[in-house]
Chain A
Amino acid sequence: MREQLIFEHSRAGRSAAAQYPLDAPAADVPENLRRRSAPMLPEVSELQAVRHFTRLSQLNFSIDTHFYPLGSCTMKYNPRACNQYALLPGFLGRHPLAPESTGQGILQCLYELQEMLKEVTGMRGVSLTPMAGAQGEFAGVAMIQAYHKARGDHARREIIVPDAAHGTNPATATMCGCTVKEIPSLPNGDIDLDALRASVGPQTAGIMLTNPSTLGVFERRIREVAGIVHEAGGLLYYDGANLNAILGKVRPGDMGFDVIHMNLHKTFSTPHGGGGPGSGAVGVSERLLPFMPVPVVGFDGAQYRWLDEKDLPQTIGRLSAFMGNTGVLLRAYVYMRMLGREGMHRVSEYATLNANYLMAKLTAAGFELAYPGRRAGHEFIVTLRREARDYGTTAMDFAKRLLDYGFHAPTTYFPLLVPECLLIEPTETESKEELDAFVAAMVAIREEAKADPAKLKGAPYTLPVRRLDDVRAAKQLDIAYQAA
């Protein structure tokens, strides 16, 4: 099945017509500033456009259509109510620069969201402006730098990152003008404390950690890690990618972290949207309060208002033209209110139950764990190195074949230090039946690998396309349609 490009549906002179002004005047633009030839936009009817994009949507896997156990991404169900109530006309039609007196309703939602996020993370302040996890990370490292600088401590330019860290961590440190020092993990998945002790010093700005780590296990000696880094004068950054594992159970603030970013599009169930929009709200401890990115919502007991550079003169500044991904924040707000006080811990409990159950079933079915003997957090790692050795099939082959069985593939080849790995995160919203079906598919695929490895190499067979030539994509670059 292939859907033509929208440009191939286009015919000169055709248009949808109902959506633009009927009697538009000719544009009053000086000759030298005027556009001479029309842009290549499609000329299609409304039905053609609707049918084309509806068909395109049907070529996707999504949470609404498939189990999506993508490790480190928390692909849980996105409640429809969150979308509907974020799209109410009063919120949707409001200009971000309209007077605060005309936006008390939305500001109250955002203020209460800040307060709820403070409570679940154990931090003292929250700024909602970062527009994705990576921007939250940027804000976090920038605040750490601003803190050291404000103390006249200019030598602290090094950020420590475990080797298992998400790629955004080292990239963020570089964007903030820091250097990166990687430290190794122990065979059981914990941080190597001796290596950490040897790495910290007067050059240490801080350490970026996620807990549970990207290896899927809880860093049990986190207080010692915090002690070592704090004693050396550094600060601790919590990458909230894995907050779903500990929500309502343990708070980053209580573990000793100074700053955290939360992926609201993971833990708080806002949609991933095919690659955004996300939201990377940041939480800070007492000492980083003055440096939070602006604007932040303030409340004086009567009115809600935006606090900006005037209120927070030491702020790291502004990370978006307005106030971040507001609509995403509203969705997270609705989600948190629907879960309520009694629902927060259920998220981590059932995410962890599902992960440990799936891990137990896959182990019982003969798959090898990367970190046996550890509890899974909300995700765990299977290594297919035995299958690679015995059948010549890779983790990628399993991943592609899973698509034929109607499952989105788990995360493959991350973390980079585990060979032939699948990082599997089922989330709390999946049923036992779905998890059992996934185990059955994995077992069936292994049987196929044994009997006919070439079959796996050729997968997938039932999707709109088979495996794509990535090398050709990069070498013979075709990134924009050229009309014939």
Chain B
Amino acid sequence: MPFIPHTTDDIREMLAAIGAADIQALFDEIPAELRSRALDAIPPALSEMEIGRLMSERAAADGQKLNFIGAGAYEHHVPAAVWAIVTRGEFYSAYTPYQAEASQGTLQLLYEYQSMMASLTGMAASNASLYDGATALAEACLMAVRAHRKSKSQRILVPAAVNPDYRAVLRAVAGGQNLAFELLPYDPRGGVTTTASLEKYRGQDITALVIQQPNFFGNLEDVDALTDWAHEAGMLVIAVANPMSLAVLKPPGEWGAKGVDIVCGEGQPLGVPLSSGGPYFGFMTTRMEHVRQMPGRIVGRTVDLDGKAGFTLTLQAREQHIRRSKATSNICTNQGLLVTAATIYMSLIGPQGLAKVASTCIQRTAELVAVLEKVSGVRVAFGGPRFHEAVLLLDRPVRGVLEALAARGIVGGVDISRDYPSLGNALLVCATETRTPGDIATYARALADVMQSAAAA
């Protein structure tokens, strides 16, 4: 029996010890009329060899395309050592570190992770992860409501230049607790959020302003001006940051005169493969004064009975297993294994390496934009500084172009026309350090081909 060690002798001896005639007798408290019928819709068992063959065929069918999509998930090189260690059974098959003495490996790693993320974002305190970037933003908004005691409105300003799927998650996850999200338009020329769009809220009770840097279009926001404006108006500031960009961009803890109040985002760029959408992890950091309002696990360093340093989950009075209905969040399991990957990634890459990856991303995207905008029927939507994404405007619907590119082995970007109808036929493209100049040339040739053949047809 797969994964079950019992021999016939074992079963006999065990039933005798229990005093049961057979295994079925152990289910005698389940009323007979509720017993399951046969599970006909489940296929018969496969051996490891057979399922291996099946999965390999399906994975091969999906193939490995040349990827130019970002939009919240980014293809970076993942060092070989990262997942070789992450999948060690001692990390892979351990539980949440409730028994601290038997979990010092995971706990110390989480403490190291918290230290790295605090420094990377320029904040004092980090939690040990949330589910993903989108839910981290939802939790950050709920946290802002708890942390900003003077504000009663539960109104949060969210720029349209924030990832639209994040905004959808905000509505689904935080909407039930009567938070009101108000959309800030972006400047159609720069593709950024301006303080002019904030003026109409001056003097009103607003809990927090969200700023995504780089924003969904890849553009760099004037974070100092936005942060200072919000703080002067009595709001908290929530930064949504790409951790990779923070190797070269000003950390949110240094935005404006005071720095932001909460930082959150998607941790995937740090050593987590695209994996068709997950698992990834959300990160969150904050000022020390708000640490008790932060959701999720937090690891602290302390001492044991002999005075020796050790690590343990701390501030658990915030959490659901203690506070039940009064907890800061219902979060329990988070994304520990992905944080393990990120911690090993940051350790291998180091501060120099991270800066080199980030600056190469900027460079490659600049090169990509430069060649694609030369293709007939393509222009760049926004000027101004950007990180590793850009919006291109096409002279025809994007969907058909993307399908034609996919047929040539290229996933050429994301069609954002549905989320931003005023842009027209808008394509969001990305190039990370993994795209070589040769890849970029291949994309440019394919796009020129597709645009030309469609024009001819």
CB distance from A112 to the nearest CB of B (A): 8
Provide a sorted-by-A list of 22 A–B residue pairs whose CB atoms are within 8 angstroms. Answer: A20-B353, A53-B85, A62-B94, A88-B55, A91-B275, A101-B406, A106-B276, A131-B278, A134-B332, A167-B332, A175-B176, A177-B177, A222-B34, A272-B333, A323-B277, A340-B45, A343-B1, A344-B42, A403-B101, A468-B100, A479-B299, A480-B111
Whether A41 pairs with B251 at a CB distance below 8 angstroms is: no
Whether A105 pairs with B334 at a CB distance below 8 angstroms is: no
Whether B169 pairs with A318 at a CB distance below 8 angstroms is: yes
Q: Is A40 an interface residue (CB 8 A)?
A: yes
Residue of A134, A173, A327, A345 near B278 (CB, 8 A) is A327
B residues less than 8 Å from A36 (CB atoms): 250, 254
**Contact flags B350-381 to A (C-beta < 8 A → 1, else 0):** 11111111111011001000000000000000
Q: Is A456 an interface residue (CB 8 A)?
A: no
Q: A7-B112, A92-B274 are in contact. Are A38 and B91 (CB under 8 A)?
A: no
Instruction: Please tell me which stretch of B24-32, B144-152, B198-206, B445-453 contacts chain A, meaning at least 4 of its Cβ atoms lie within 8 angstroms of it.
Output: B24-32
Q: Is A339 an interface residue (CB 8 A)?
A: yes
B residues less than 8 Å from A470 (CB atoms): 302, 312, 314
A residues less than 8 Å from B65 (CB atoms): 94, 98, 102
A142 CA to B176 CA in the complex, in Å? Answer: 8
Nearest B residue to A138 via CB reads B330
Chain B contact residues (Cβ within 8 angstroms of A): what range? Answer: 35 or more
Whether B349 pairs with A19 at a CB distance below 8 angstroms is: yes
A residues less than 8 Å from B315 (CB atoms): 474, 477
Instruction: Please tell me which stretch of A42-50, A227-235, A281-289, A442-450 contacts chain B, meaning at least 4 of its Cβ atoms lie within 8 angstroms of it.
Output: A42-50
Whether B61 pairs with A90 at a CB distance below 8 angstroms is: yes
Q: Is B301 an interface residue (CB 8 A)?
A: yes
Q: A41-B349, A81-B48 are in contact. Are A328 and B278 (CB under 8 A)?
A: yes
Q: Is B321 an interface residue (CB 8 A)?
A: yes
A169 CA to B308 CA in the complex, in Å? Answer: 37
Whether A353 pairs with B23 at a CB distance below 8 angstroms is: yes
Q: Is A464 an interface residue (CB 8 A)?
A: yes
Q: How many residues on A have C-beta within 8 angstroms of the other chain's C-beta atoms?
A: 203
B residues less than 8 Å from A340 (CB atoms): 42-46
- The residues in A between 58 and 96 inclusive whose CB is less than 8 angstroms from any CB of B are 58-66, 68, 70, 73, 75-79, 81, 83-85, 87-96
Residue of B72, B166, B312, B359 near A473 (CB, 8 A) is B312
Whether A327 pairs with B279 at a CB distance below 8 angstroms is: yes
Q: Is A391 an interface residue (CB 8 A)?
A: no
A residues less than 8 Å from B346 (CB atoms): 41-42
Whether B64 pairs with A468 at a CB distance below 8 angstroms is: no
Q: Is B40 an interface residue (CB 8 A)?
A: yes
Nearest B residue to A79 via CB reads B3
CB distance from B91 to the nearest CB of A (A): 5
Nearest A residue to B38 via CB reads A341
B residues less than 8 Å from A246 (CB atoms): 30
- The residues in B between 233 and 262 inclusive whose CB is less than 8 angstroms from any CB of A are 246-251, 254
Instruction: Please tell me which stretch of B12-20, B180-188, B389-397 contacts chain A, meaning at least 4 of its Cβ atoms lie within 8 angstroms of it.
Output: B12-20
Whether B94 pairs with A481 at a CB distance below 8 angstroms is: no
Whether A316 pairs with B326 at a CB distance below 8 angstroms is: no
Nearest A residue to B273 via CB reads A92
Whether A249 pairs with B347 at a CB distance below 8 angstroms is: no
> What 5 pairs across the A-B complex have the smallest Cβ distances?
A340-B45, A64-B89, A317-B172, A90-B59, A273-B337
Whether A274 pairs with B103 at a CB distance below 8 angstroms is: yes
Q: Is B303 an interface residue (CB 8 A)?
A: yes
A residues less than 8 Å from B308 (CB atoms): 2, 465-466
A21 CA to B355 CA in the complex, in Å? Answer: 10
A118 CA to B320 CA in the complex, in Å? Answer: 29
Whether A102 pairs with B46 at a CB distance below 8 angstroms is: no
Q: Is A52 an interface residue (CB 8 A)?
A: yes
CB distance from B139 to the nearest CB of A (A): 10
Residue of B101, B276, B301, B362 near A463 (CB, 8 A) is B101
B residues less than 8 Å from A249 (CB atoms): 27, 30, 35-36
Residue of B17, B52, B102, B362 near A27 (CB, 8 A) is B362
Whether B18 pairs with A430 at a CB distance below 8 angstroms is: no
Q: A21-B360, A35-B248, A35-B249 are in contact. Are A327 and B275 (CB under 8 A)?
A: yes
A482 CA to B433 CA in the complex, in Å? Answer: 31
Residue of B40, B105, B169 near A60 (CB, 8 A) is B105
Instruction: Please tell me which stretch of A196-204, A250-258, A381-389 contacts chain B, meaning at least 4 of its Cβ atoms lie within 8 angstroms of it.
Output: A250-258
Q: Is A151 an interface residue (CB 8 A)?
A: no
Interface of A is mostly: loop
Whether B249 pairs with A33 at a CB distance below 8 angstroms is: yes
B residues less than 8 Å from A38 (CB atoms): 351-352, 355
**Contact flags A395-406 to B (C-beta < 8 A → 1, else 0):** 000011001000
Whether A248 pairs with B276 at a CB distance below 8 angstroms is: no
A residues less than 8 Å from B246 (CB atoms): 35, 39
A145 CA to B275 CA in the complex, in Å? Answer: 33
Nearest A residue to B65 via CB reads A102
Residue of A5, A274, A343 near B336 (CB, 8 A) is A274
A135 CA to B278 CA in the complex, in Å? Answer: 15
Q: Is A460 an interface residue (CB 8 A)?
A: yes
Q: Is B209 an interface residue (CB 8 A)?
A: no
A178 CA to B332 CA in the complex, in Å? Answer: 19
B residues less than 8 Å from A2 (CB atoms): 308-309
Q: A337-B43, A357-B17 are in contact. Are A133 and B312 (CB under 8 A)?
A: no
A residues less than 8 Å from B134 (CB atoms): 318, 320-321
Whether A5 pairs with B67 at a CB distance below 8 angstroms is: no
A314 CA to B403 CA in the complex, in Å? Answer: 29
Whether B128 pairs with A174 at a CB distance below 8 angstroms is: no
B residues less than 8 Å from A293 (CB atoms): 172
Q: A7-B115, A19-B353, A102-B406 are in contact. Are A408 and B99 (CB under 8 A)?
A: yes
Whether B101 pairs with A134 at a CB distance below 8 angstroms is: no
**Contact flags B65-98 to A (C-beta < 8 A → 1, else 0):** 1010101110101010101110111111111110
Q: A56-B109, A473-B300 are in contact. Are A273 and B331 (CB under 8 A)?
A: no
Q: Is B212 an interface residue (CB 8 A)?
A: no
- In this complex, the member of A60, A78, A90, A217 whose beta carbon has the largest number of chain B beta carbons within 10 angstroms is A60
A319 CA to B131 CA in the complex, in Å? Answer: 10
Q: Is B454 an interface residue (CB 8 A)?
A: no
Whether B125 pairs with A479 at a CB distance below 8 angstroms is: yes
Whether A271 pairs with B93 at a CB distance below 8 angstroms is: yes
